[in-house]
Structure 1
Amino acid sequence: MKTQNKFLIVSLIIFIAVSCSTTARFVPVPVTRVIEKERIVNKPFDVVWQSAVEWFATHNTPIKNMDKSSGLISTEYSLPLSDASRYMDCGSTKSSFSGYTNLENHSGNFNVLLKKVGDNATKININVFFGCSVNTYQSKGLLSTDYVLKSSSRINCTTTGTLEKEVLDYIEAF
């Protein structure tokens, strides 16, 4: 009888713990940042163009489209997780007793648009777009250490402004 009572009490405690636990969830980015995306440099268009192309080459960033006549250079790439946190803020995740949520597959693209505003002045405009997958995993069972993918969705992330600053500073210093 005592064994049955112990089993019943333990089962009840586990049931209550699982019932009261919060689910794994994603917490969006609450902060709006002021980002410098545009700068006018006192250099001819051709010099600035060469500097922009060199930035892509020296940073191993593949160019998707390039058109000197329009001043457009664009890219699309995947970011290693170690770099993702420097360049983007995708929010945070909360784990629970029954599962967890991960931010995965960080990627981005950005455009550099150059415009001649004078013989020795060029306007640089950088537009950055980042995103990642929000994957929620659920425990296979009450005492299991194995998890299965419950849901996945793609979200837009917020730029930290670091990439824009790095590119603008590099092009201006060339």
Structure 2
Amino acid sequence: MRFIALTVLVLVLGLAGCASPPRSYSFQNSRTYDKSYDEVWESLIGFFASRNIQIKNIAKDSGVVYAETAQFNETMADCGDPGLFQVLSKRVNFNVFVTRSGATPKVTVNATYQETRKFDRNVVTVGCNSKGTLERIILAEVGR
């Protein structure tokens, strides 16, 4: 019985070794705008509404929007190669902050990506690295 358990453990660790880590990407996640705070805020809320992105929490006075968890694809984040693991889901949580930095508001987008994988009965969640796609889309939309 011990031999079987040890064999399974070695096999699982060996298969996990087939996976590769995600690459790192460099991108801008914040930008200032030559608009009023209210104009920037309205553009940001318009972005969420036009794409039917559910807002979890919103506070205009503190300039924060927390989005509901959403799915993503490979154009948005790099999770590395799952090896022999089966990908079950890809989820992103993100928030956007609008700060009054002097005369021009500044928007910062923070996103956390995770991929859930399964091999046999083992389920693991791995962190993924953003490619900056979501950040660029939001910052460009606010700038329109």
Report the TM-score range of the alignment, normalised by the length of the smaller protein.
Answer: 0.7 to 0.9
Residue 102 (structure 2) pairs with residue 110 (structure 1):
no
Structure 1 residue matching 2:127: 3-state secondary structure: strand
Aligned to 1:158: 129
* Letter matched to residue 50 of structure 1: E
Aligned to 2:20: 27
Instruction: Write the deviation string for residues 126-167 of structure 1: whole angstroms up to 9, x where unpaired.
Output: 11111011211xxxxxxxxxxxx3311111111110000000
Aligned-pair distance for 1:35? 1.6
Aligned-pair distance for 1:122? 0.8
Instruction: Write the deviation string for residues 60-103 of structure 1: whole angstroms up to 9, x where unpaired.
Output: 11000100000000112231xxx411111111123xxxxx3122
Note the aligned Cα RMSD (angstroms). Answer: 1.8
Aligned to 2:55: 63
* Letter matched to residue 60 of structure 2: K
Which of 95, 109, 112 aligns to 1:129? It is: 112
* Number of residue pairs aligned between Structure 1 and Structure 2: 131
Residues of 2 paired with 1:135 and 1:48: CA distance?
Answer: 42
Q: Which one has a bigger Cα radius of gyration?
A: 1
Q: TM-score, normalised by structure 1?
A: 0.70
Residues of 1 paired with 2:25 and 2:62: CA distance?
Answer: 29
Which of 31, 38, 42 aligns to 1:46? It is: 38
Aligned to 1:89: 78
Residues of 2 paired with 1:109 and 1:89: CA distance?
Answer: 15
Report sequence identity in percent. Answer: 26
Q: TM-score, normalised by structure 2?
A: 0.83
* Letter matched to residue 41 of structure 2: W
Structure 2 residue matching 1:135: 3-state secondary structure: strand
Residue 140 (structure 2) pairs with residue 169 (structure 1):
yes
* Letter matched to residue 158 of structure 1: N
Choose between structure 1 and 2 for higher RCO, CA contacts under 8 A separated by at least 6 residues: 2
Name the one with the larger strand percent.
Answer: 1
Structure 1 alignment gaps of length 5 or more: 1-18, 95-99, 137-148
* Letter matched to residue 112 of structure 1: V
Preserved contact between residue 72 and residue 111 of structure 1 (Cα < 8 Å): yes
